[in-house]
Amino acid sequence: MSDIIVPEVGESITEGILAEWKIESGAVVDVDDPLFVLETDKITLDVPSEQAGRVAIKIEAGETVKIGQVVGSIDTSVAPPPSDEGEADEGPPKEIPAGLPQAAAKIEAASGLAPSVRRLVVEHGLDARKIAGTGKGGRITKADVLGHLAERPKDGAEKPLPATAPPEKDTQDDGRQTRVPMSMIRQRIAERMVIAQQSAAILTTFNELDMSRVIELRRRHQESFVAKQGIKLGFMSFFVKAVVEALKAVPEVNAQIDGTEIVYNNFYDIGVAVSTEKGLVVPVVRGADKLSFAGIEQAIADLAQKARDRKLSLDDISGGTFTISNGGIYGNMMSTPILNPPQSGVLGMHAIKKRPVVVDDAIEIRPMMFVALSYDHRLIDGKEAVTFLKKVIECIEDPERTLMEF
């Protein structure tokens, strides 16, 4: 028997919420199968199983748990299902354990059901009771699940069966209003936003830039870039490169206040804000000044995928020196981004819109973007802020001369 404990996720994190169990009590798991979702004040992550065997849940979803607390156990004497559904042991299905819901019981009874098949059932929110098993002893195979998906009406999606009932004790609904507790991440975001506003003299400077040459550059080089690098060339890598050049030109924006001292950072770890279903997180692209365009694009893609999969570590979101926030992906035209303490600056990108502009005394239609720099006025004056933005604009509007390396 092996205990399931809440893992350490960072020195400053002492507790969290066991937000969701990914499996039923009584289910048989393999090593690295996801067990539960841990939500802390900084990150949300799936906690995988370190052992194979039958799970017994001791702490229900929705409860606050301490780091190191035992939340369940695994009976390691019970073998997990075979990894290949085609190599299932012969014999009748297992006896259905008492107390399990019928759907989970059927999965449990289908001893030949592989982890890959279980994932298909869970990912598509299928009711296992409706899937006819054609394997030995009525076991459900991958082909059975795919066949069931193919026959299912497009508008008849089945709702997933929750591993455990969601906690309802803290939800209040009188018909006119519904009250639900804030997630720890949402609480932390709220706390940090208030701290940022109260602890810094935040000012925002705006400007606009012409995206014509970057757009044309991407159009001309995209195919060869993808063929060579295996990843698309996006706008964000241009802005990361431009920000690094601007930080080198105006080091105060890459600095921070520590008591009565100014700490100048001689490295460039750039945070890129990513929106998730749980709230905003800012994973950090380390050593951005040393990365190629492809390296930046790959780093951002990897971090964004980790954020979506709830696999970001504390190290992934700590220690950035400057942040870029792209509200343009939601169609936002202009905003005042807020600082991510203890950083002294954040750049807000916005939607690209065609607008009439004067070019060499003639009116032309150009793809324009508003950009905003919010900064700590205790450290950065208007001159430095404007100089920083002008350097970013110079790099974006003339990328071949200032940025390109391919």
| Catalytic positions | 377, 381
Sign of CA dihedral 300, 305, 306, 308: positive
CB 44 within 8 A of CB 13: no
CB 197 within 8 A of CB 336: no
Residue count of the chain, please give it.
406
Task: Could you list the beta-strand ranges (E) of 100-145.
Answer: none
The C-alpha atoms of residue 297 and residue 284 are separated, in whole angstroms, by 13
In the block, tokens 């002008």 appear at 390
The C-alpha atoms of residue 57 and residue 74 are separated, in whole angstroms, by 9
3-state secondary structure of 15: strand
Q: Which tokens in the block code for residue 1?
A: 């028997």
In the chain, the amino acid numbered 328 is G
In the block, tokens 């690094």 appear at 244
Residue 155's contacts (CB-CB under 8 Å, 6 or more residues apart) are none
Question: C-alpha 237: how far from its chain's center?
Answer: 18
CB 132 within 8 A of CB 144: yes
CB 343 within 8 A of CB 323: yes
What does 230-295 look like in DSSP terms, one character per residue?
Answer: SS---HHHHHHHHHHHHHHH-GGGGEEEETTEEEE--S--EEE-EEETTEEE--EETTGGG--HHH
Helix or strand holding residue 400 (H, E):
helix 399-402
**Count of C-beta atoms within a 10 Å radius of residue 341:** 15
In the block, tokens 């324009």 appear at 368
**Count of C-beta atoms within a 10 Å radius of residue 16:** 24
